[in-house]
Structure 1
Amino acid sequence: MASSADVTSKTSIAMVAGETSGDLLAGRLLSGLRPQLPDALMHGIGGTHMAQHGFISDFPMEKLSVRGLFEVLAHYREIKAIQIALRDQLLIERPAVFIGVDAPDFNLGLEAQLKSAGIPTMHFIGPSIWAWRGGRIKKIARAVSHMLVIFPFEEEIYRKAGIPATYVGHPLAQVIPMVPDQAGARVALGLPAASPVVAILPGSRMSELKYNSVPFVAAAKILLQLDATLQFVAPMAGEAQHRYFNELIEQAGLRDVPVKVIDGQSHRALAAADAVLVASGTASLEVALFKKPMVIAYKMMRASWHVLRHMGYQPWIGLPNILAQEFLVPELLQDAATPEALAEALWKQLQDGAHREYLQRRFTDMHRTLLRDTAAESARAVLELIAQTPRAS
């Protein structure tokens, strides 16, 4: 058994985050871990939020940011080559721990190989086994030494399956203020104080932008016919996403729709908004934590949709609805996500004042449930796992 002094002298921590939301969540974990291990090498695959804590990305995170079965297949060889190269590197290096952050299709296979070689593995943010693909928990048991989970009900699910787990709260619940500063956000973004604001979040992955951007902006065009004073703001995850979004809107003949496209600042855009049109994923939970009415939508490659739509066993896909166990906000998926349907659903969210107040109360309760010192709790769990793992001399 390693002593606490041994723990602080470990030379490396390996991590993989596969997309923008995972990078943000991993950054919170590192903010608690780096002060405990100031001299450790922390590397693998990650983004800008992880880099702020001295993390070195050995491969571009964007290479893993692909969603949808057939979209992944198109990039399979490249992604697999990255996984093999990283695995071989880590088997030689033997880090104190490997932490996979979300990206289960990439990370679980890598974790299984590292764990079988005696390297302790953690997975931060459990796959949504409570929503679909429940059989995956057997694979998780083979791959993961310890789970870090972000929803309170998950801890018992994993422990019943014999997988050690720690509920660390959702990192975003600590980052996002309980009472957002809408007025300040509008000033910072240069948005009129008196005009209603709609935030458009079609996704951070290129594949999400490809399928969601045009119907989202087309819905904005319809909404302007109902209220010409509406302001639209669309935060992009990076310069590449910004350029691609503009190209898609140009090709669709929608450049005349006055959407203010900004780099980053998604939280500022959400704070400024009166309502949000958002792609399903972590972003929908961010909207809930900002206490905003929303419409959740998602489109993907048709072949992927035909496969994935049969794999769920809950009626909801949006995280706010899953946590509430009811349709708090509308969900419009694939063929149902037409510009007309999106505009109609969002208009109702803008017009129903009583429902907005109800959502604000429900989302405030949700926020309190998810609020923990995630950085400290997750760092403590990482250090304990390292201390419990015998190290080769």
Structure 2
Amino acid sequence: MQLRKNLLNQILNQKPDLFIGVDAPDFNFWIERQLKKKGIPVIHYVSPSIWAWRGNRLRKIKKSVDHMLTIFPFEKNIYSKANIQATFVGHPLAEMIPLYSNKKKAQDKLKIIKATKVIALLPGSRQGEVTWHAQLLIDSATEISKRIRDVKFLVPLPTRETYDIFSKTLFKNTHAELDIQLLVGHASDAINAADLVIVASGTATLETALYKKPMIVIYKMSSISWQILKRMRYLPFVSLPNILLNKFIVPELLQSDATSDNISSKAIEILKNAPYRKNLLIQFTKIHHQLKQNTSDRLSKVILKFIK
């Protein structure tokens, strides 16, 4: 709290014509609210996930910002209904990821030589997520490898700490004969190199869709946390591809449904279903075009309205 107060005082001493907060809502909204009270215009870039779990934050947001810059098109309508000005400016990932990616190039980069199929396993970015998902994904990979010859698994971990959690879990499974490659970083390469991605719910599901890859979305947590989130949640979907298309286009195996039997069976089903994968390619390309906007131009137009 003291850090925020010190930062607020520094900002006020500068007497800005405009303040732009970027993401980090739990940190930024308090500062933005104080600045707005002082008559300083406030723009916030990247909306919190009000559409998923925390819709009750709209009142706080209205007190904190004059204009919200959103990265998903449907967010603008939510803010409009709450009488908060908002502009959809596009998603940065859609700008960074090419419309047509090169799987062979990614496989060469990761030195994948002999593999009938490549499956990426993304257990999440936080240590708690990796702890919950590591054994589940190893068990699922073991089941899949019994049914597909020469299948290779890629596991990109974001930090050395998450790498250690997964590798220790893998080491305990000495019976599992898997061709599995653990990576620190390289999530984009692993997704791009894959024929299928098994991914914990989060931003990685969007990245997977933008690389036009079939996926299975998973998530596990404590029973208490799950019950709380179920009560707070008001959308039927949790994964971004399903939310953006407003329909179940990718499977979501959550909590009690997230078992190695369910995951491995669904993986085999997807890999055998060429028409389904072709339809996914069409739907994911639609998402890419929808999110790929001239972001810098849209941002500058909103900012100029406040400083003229």
> What TM-score do the two structures reach when normalised by structure 1?
0.72
Residue 128 (str. 1) matches residue 45 (str. 2): no
| Residue identity matched to 1:289 | L
Deviation at 1:145, TM superposition (A): 2.6
Cα distance in 2 between the residues matched to 1:137 and 1:266: 33
Corresponding residue SS for 2:293: coil
Tell me which moved more, 166-175 or 232-241.
Answer: 232-241
Deviation at 1:113, TM superposition (A): 3.9
Matches within 5 A, 1:51-130: 84-94=1-11, 96=16, 97-101=19-23, 103-130=24-51
Alpha-carbon spacing, 1:382–1:192, altered in 2? closer, same or farther (3 Å) = farther
Deviation at 1:380?
Answer: 5.0
Tell me: CA distance 1:146–1:331, structure 2 relative to 1, closer, same or farther (3 Å): same
Change (3 A) 1:382 1:246: farther
Say if 2:234 is the partner of 1:313: yes
Matched, 1:299 2:240: no
Matched residues in 1 for 2:267 and 2:166: separation?
21
Q: Confirm whether residue 249 of structure 1 aligns to residue 170 of structure 2.
A: yes
Find the counterpart in structure 2 of residue 28 from structure 1: none
After TM superposition, give the deviation of residue 208 of structure 1 in Å. 1.2
1:132-147 alignment to 2 at 5 Å? 132-147=53-68
- Note if 1:331 corresponds to 2:248: no
- Map Cα deviations across residues 72-126 of structure 1 (whole Å, 9 max, x no partner): xxxxxxxxxxxx133122122116424131x444443443344335554433222
Q: Which residue of 2 aligns with 1:199?
A: 120
SS at match of 2:55: coil
- 1:219-266 superposed Cα distances (whole Å, 9 cap, x missing partner): 111100011311111111122222222123334657753321112121
User: 2:116–2:149: 8 Å Cα contact kept in structure 1?
Assistant: no
Q: What secondary structure sits across from 1:364 in the alignment?
A: helix
The alpha-carbon deviation at position 339 of structure 1 amounts to 1.4
Q: Is the 8 A contact 2:142 2:176 kept in 1?
A: no
8 A Cα contact 1:131 1:312, kept in partner? yes
Percent identity, aligned pairs only, is: 39
Contact 1:87 1:114 in 2 (8 A): no
AA matched with 1:369: Q
**8 Å Cα contact 2:115/2:152 also seen in 1:** no
CA distance in 2: counterparts of 1:85 and 1:186, whole angstroms: 48
2-structure distance, mates of 1:194, 1:256: 15
1:159 deviation in Å? Answer: 2.8
Aligned length: 303
Cα pair 1:183 1:193 within 8 Å, conserved:
no
Distance 1:254 1:247, change over 3 A: farther
Gaps of 5+ in 2: none
Could you say what secondary structure the match of 1:260 adopts?
strand
Counterpart in the other structure of 2:195: 274
What is the rounded CA distance, in whole Å, between the counterparts of 2:190 and 2:285 in structure 1?
19
Supply the RMSD in Å over aligned alpha carbons.
2.2
Given candidates 227, 242, 264, the residue that maps to 2:185 is 264
1:343 deviates by: 1.1
* Cα distance in structure 1, aligned partners of 2:31 and 2:174: 44
Give TM-score scaled by structure 2 length: 0.90
